[in-house]
Amino acid sequence: MKACIVVTPGGPEAFSLADVEIEPPGGLDAVMRITAAGVNRADVLQRQGRYPAPPGAPSWPGLEAAGTLLEAPASSPWRAGDRVCALLPGGGYAERAVVDASLLLPVPDGLSDVEAASLVEAACTVVSNLDEARALPGETLLVHGGSGGVGTAAIQIAKARGMRVIATAGGAERAARCAALGADVALDHRADDWVAAVRDLGGADVILDVVGAAYLDANLRALRTGGRLVVIGMQKGARGELDLGLLLARRARVIGTTLRARPLAERAAIVARVREEVWPLVPDAVRPVVHATLPLERAGDAHRLLESGEVFGKVVLTV
């Protein structure tokens, strides 16, 4: 089968379409024919050689995909022909994927495969991190990167949870689109002093952050007493100064998480939580935001687009 592989790590030109062998399915694995695969920031790091595939996963990128089941374990509730999407440990940039059946979700009614593929990883990231932070209805969530794949999902899912949502994005137009998605307050981080604005709003109980070091100190200052800063990305630096005096005074916590590296049972539990909490909200309260689709063989262009910083929502590859 074909997959979009990286032979030598590097820029977007590193991709090439190749014939690859796929591992035969184990007893609990399903085999899916892929029609759409979401593109994530982590794929960029993997392409650059900075985020190697975990043991046992295909070497080509792709953390989420949608399509049709070709085979399903008899012990599972799934059957060949089911329309599914999946949280993958890698390998979505391909015609087929072998995946543990516990990582499958149905394609929600009313969604295309492209939309479903765009939502899996973001929904899993949002739900697992809101759970990790024990985010409660009535609390205030600050979402950085509100215009990204995780950000657009976080705004909608947190609103459905009954939280107040403040989002930051780059530029007034993108901030306005965050507000249109449901953010109670949307800030343009290029123009606004977002720390002051968040503090004027009483501070954040929970912050979902993809920026990393560059925002570490500012995030801490934006937290309320008892606040939780969840760092899920390091788009602007991995090492930052932490003001422990402020951490103690705020009785705050800084939480680092990743999704892909977790044991299978934890990822399966997250998928189950998404099916329980998010899938019933789709497509009315939670709607996938797809910025663009490109064919699989143009994975390099999809990465160029993502890295341009001009995407609102997700980029999806079609197979």
Q: Which residues bind a second copy (CB under 8 A)?
A: 212-213, 216, 231-232, 234, 237-258, 261-262
What residues contact residue 127 under an 8 Å CB cut-off, 6+ apart? 157, 270, 273, 274, 277, 278
Smaller CB separation from a second copy, 46 or 156 = 46
Q: Is the peptide bond before 77 cis (omega within 30 degrees of 0)?
A: no
Residue with smaller CB distance to a second copy, 79 or 251: 251
In the bound complex, what is the minimum distance in angstroms from residue 149's beta carbon to a second copy?
Answer: 18
Contact 139, 162 (CB under 8 A): no
Measured distance CA(213)–CA(172) in Å, rounded: 24
Shortest distance in whole angstroms from residue 90 CB to a second copy:
17
| Whole-angstrom distance, CA of residue 240 vs CA of residue 196 | 20
Nearer to a second copy, 260 or 291 (CB): 260
Contact yes or no for 140/166 (Cβ under 8 A): yes
User: Considering beta carbons, is residue 35 or 219 the nearer one to a second copy?
Assistant: 219
Token couple for 36: 């759409």
Instruction: Please report how close the Cβ of residue 172 comes to a second copy at its closest, in angstroms.
Output: 29
Judged by beta carbon, residue 67 or residue 212, the one nearer a second copy is: 212
β-pair type (96-100, 29-39)? antiparallel
Structure tokens at 201: 């709003």
Minimal distance in Å, beta carbon 230 to a second copy? Answer: 9
The CB-of-132 to a second copy minimum distance in angstroms stands at 9
